[in-house]
Structure 1
């Protein structure tokens, strides 16, 4: 593996989420109120403290991102806009229904926004659960960070909840693969996998590694960021840790995404985006 870093932010601006949209790499600068392209273009948002966080490509080929600091969903495209939502949005994904789905951390809801800006919300049925990241397969899957569970929601709002075997695991990142959904437990130093039928498996990671984000791979495994270990790691379909790549002390890796060629982009809060290639 080779690792190449690209500086995209000034001191303290904090790259957090990362996405590849129509071949261009984008990242959110969570502490600066900016969305930036790897090519150097910066989009200054209308509030410096809006905290752009998770960023994804939308079904309309635009760039969509959550603004957890001011209760809005942002969009950059031919007609840039921001859409008010009733709570603090964090996780975001393109759903199976040509809409965007997001979590509302402070109101225990999952939201849906269409590309024309129509917002709907659905209760998750649990109080104080703090829904975090969200991913889409046929249904929507999301982590309940304080509820210590994985949630599943249909596109009509029906909810099922699956408690984790490990207490106080603190699930955060989640990603839907071909045969199962992967998630990470930041407080338990574990990776988990849940089947479509709700069976959960957990796999240990090095102590103190604090996994934060995950992306499923076509071979049934996944890549994860190890925030506490300043590294990324790759697991195979059986949950074995087969590779760990050091990104340097103080790098603070957060979001990651796969490119079309199978390479991995990682947002490093120290101010750069790393590209990991075979």
Structure 2
């Protein structure tokens, strides 16, 4: 079906309706087919937005699809938080899913690792999982409580936020974990991404800050203007900056590697932006109110 009606348009931001407000677009990623794929967390579906005509195709999957990431096999991989499985969908729409070793683990974050496998967090079980493109699963203890987002670091390790441990974790591909506690109590980190400066950048949803951690574990925090902005997801942009969603204020933020901050207002303060990704040279974010927003990268 085609649900790509333009809803909001400014000089820098455009929004496109892709679902009803109850479906909950949550996270998104560019696929190997050049299309934008996103999860509909409350509909139990993954959707594809065509890069040419904006047509949206919806594919039913397991309950609670959450974070989605491209895999080394050309498919999209995603977590199914409520069915406690790892999903896989090809650009043609062929869907399959796999069970982690730990039941009821609450899979949330997922990323392609440096070893040709996908890595995911089991937030409710304090574990980190690894799944090969053939579906073979192994698991390791997380270095702290409630691992959330996960990303591959520039050092060949996996880095994750430890939301309830108030720390950032590092896990080698052989399962050795280290935790780096954050300076600010109650920071509750969620999103994390590798930056263009060789460091990892993360969001502190509980403290209204953006954090930076070097591979040696040195941490810097940057307070946002509104401490209640609740920054959620973060990604490296095509302009050498980091971009993030502000779930609490309905804005998309940008931070340069020198700490200079900027932000862009969405159509509503309650639009609930969550996932963010680069697509077609712009930044796109998923709004749980039923739209995708496209933010033009400044020249």
- Could you tell me the TM-score, scaled by structure 1's length? 0.94
Counterpart position of 2:4: none
- Partner-residue secondary structure (3-state), 2:21: coil
1:222, 1:154 → 2: CA distance?
24
Q: 2:148–2:163: 8 Å Cα contact kept in structure 1?
A: yes
Q: Alpha-carbon deviation of 1:248?
A: 1.8
2:188 matches 1:173:
no
Note the C-alpha offset of 1:219.
5.2
3-state SS of paired residue (1:208): coil
How many pairs align? 272
Structure 2 residue aligned with 1:120: 138
Taking the aligned partners of 2:195 and 2:189, their CA distance within structure 1 comes to 17
Equivalent in 75, 78, 83 of residue 62 of structure 1: 75
Q: Give the match for residue 277 of structure 1.
A: 296
Within 2, Cα distance between the matches of 1:125 and 1:66?
A: 20
Deviations 1:168-194 (A, max 9, x none): 110000001231100000010000000
Instruction: Report the Cα distance in structure 1 between the residues aligned to 2:270 and 2:77, rounded to whole angstroms.
Output: 28
Superposed, 1:7-156 pairs within 5 Å as: 7-21=17-31, 22-38=33-49, 39-45=55-61, 47=62, 50-77=63-90, 79-85=94-100, 86=102, 87-126=105-144, 129-137=145-153, 138-156=156-174
- For 2:238 and 2:257, locate their aligned partners in 1 and report how far apart those are by CA, in whole Å: 10
Question: Is contact 2:27–2:67 with CA below 8 Å preserved after alignment?
Answer: yes
Does residue 216 in structure 1 map to residue 236 in structure 2? yes
CA, structure 1 residues 198+156, in 2 after alignment: closer, same or farther (shift >3 Å)? Answer: same
The CA deviation string for residues 10-35 of structure 1, in whole angstroms up to 9 with x for no partner, is 13110001111131011111011011
Distance 1:106 1:139 in 2: 22
Partner residue of 1:227 out of 247, 255, 266: 247
> C-alpha root-mean-square deviation of aligned residues, in Å?
1.4
Structure 1: runs of 5+ lacking an equivalent: none
Moved more, 36-45 or 99-108: 36-45
Unaligned runs of 5+ in 2: 1-10, 50-54
Residues in 1 aligned to 2:262 and 2:19: alpha-carbon distance in whole angstroms:
31
Shift of 1:217: 3.2
* Structure 1 residues 123 and 239: alpha-carbon distance in aligned structure 2, compared to 1, 3 A threshold: same
Provide the C-alpha distance between the structure 2 equivalents of 1:234 and 1:276, rounded to a whole number of angstroms.
Answer: 11
Q: Residue 2 of structure 1: which of 7, 12, 22 is its match?
A: 12
* C-alpha deviation, 1:240, in angstroms: 1.7
Cα distance in structure 2, aligned partners of 1:141 and 1:19 = 19
SS at match of 1:69: coil
Q: Deviations over 1:76-121 (max 9, x none)?
A: 1165210011221000000111110000011111000000000000
CA-CA distance at 1:6 after TM superposition: 1.6
